[in-house]
Amino acid sequence: MPSSIPRSRSRRGASFVLAALLAAAGALADDRPVGTPSPATRAPAALPSPPPAADATSGRWALEVGQSSVFDSNIDHDVPARRDYGIVFMGAAGWRNRVLKPSLAFRYEAALHRYADSPRWDRLSHRAEASLEKRLGKRLTTETRAEVSLKGSSEDRELSNQYTILEQLDFRIVRGLELRLLGLARLKRYPAPDQDRNATNAYAGTALRARLRGARLELGSRYEDNAARADRRDYKRWVHAAELAAPLGRRDLVDLEVKLYDQLYPFREVEDGPAEGDLRLDRRVVASVSWLHRFRDDLGLEVAYKHERRTSNDPDKGFDAHQVGVSFQYRFERPRFLNPEAAPPR
């Protein structure tokens, strides 16, 4: 429901004040350390961070702070499109058992999200995770990860609480080329009045990962099944992804990514249009590019753009969205060098 004019102006004023305070407070940390997925700080109305990480760092503890400013041409992913801008302030702490090649790691982060005219997306989100990595031989490595996300956002832009277990196996084929197998189980819990969306979500997938002179190319696919409390919320989908991350000199990194979603609702029929009576079928394309510049090892600036488009045989479910984001990054830990090693797909 749209807010009144006085409330809208009040929210804009508060957002500008908060943005100025955050900008003056300092810059954002690199919020993707070794072995961690992209944080809730980046969504919704925010962009995927490129995957720089430090294989070797100065200590086992790390503290991070961050500030992101984002413009979204269609924040609700709906028709008609509604523009908005937002800022996110993040703080995080992490620990690993070893400086070099850690096998056990913990991380917690909290993020304050504020948007000019979208109270739905205003929140304080939390995410905590623990990961355990074990080498089974010269070619095999496994990783187990447990994660709890409260009022966070998944790739589907959902404000839900999620409880996740991820298992993955990496097999090194030859030097610089490896095959990754992964499986995930996740519980999704929604606040009232959306409890019918509560679901058990699971997927299995594979990825081929290649590295050459600091650059990384990853091609992957996964099959996902979402079993919700209400049958009409069930879906099955394929996700195909391609990503290229490459350093440009010592202090710059460029990341390009494309994802294709093919999503079928087995218990939901189209109620209007040429496909009336058919099962709903959505197709989504997400393309993003980002550039990260390090002023120092612990201080960086990221500029990112993402385009998301969904088509559907249900004429009311298509949308088009553009997002532009700028983030300042600061981390209380000095990496010894940059290495574009991506986190596992989510």
Helix (H) or strand (E) holding 195: none
* pLDDT at site 46: 37
Q: Model confidence at 16, in pLDDT bands (50, 70, 90)?
A: very low
| Residue 258 near residue 224 (C-beta atoms within 8 A) | no
Buried b or exposed e, range 289-324, using 16+ CB within 10 angstroms: bbebebeebbbbebebebebebebbbeebbbebebe
CA angle 246, 340, 250 (to 5 degrees): 70
pTM > 0.95 = no
Tell me which residue of 189, 214, 225, 238 sits closest to 342, measured CA to CA.
214
| SS3 annotation, 255-280 | EEEEEEEEEEEEEEECCCCCCCCCEE
| Lowest-pLDDT choice from 17-26, 84-93, 276-285 | 17-26
pLDDT tens, residue by residue, 194-244: 899 999 999 999 999 999 888 999 999 999 999 999 999 999 999 999 999
Return the structure tokens found at 217. Answer: 């190319």
CATH of 5-331, one of 2.40.160.40, 3.40.50.1580, 3.40.50.720, 3.40.605.10: 2.40.160.40
| pLDDT tops 80 at residue 84 | yes
| CA distance from start to end of the chain | 32
pLDDT in tens, 225-234: 999 999 999 9
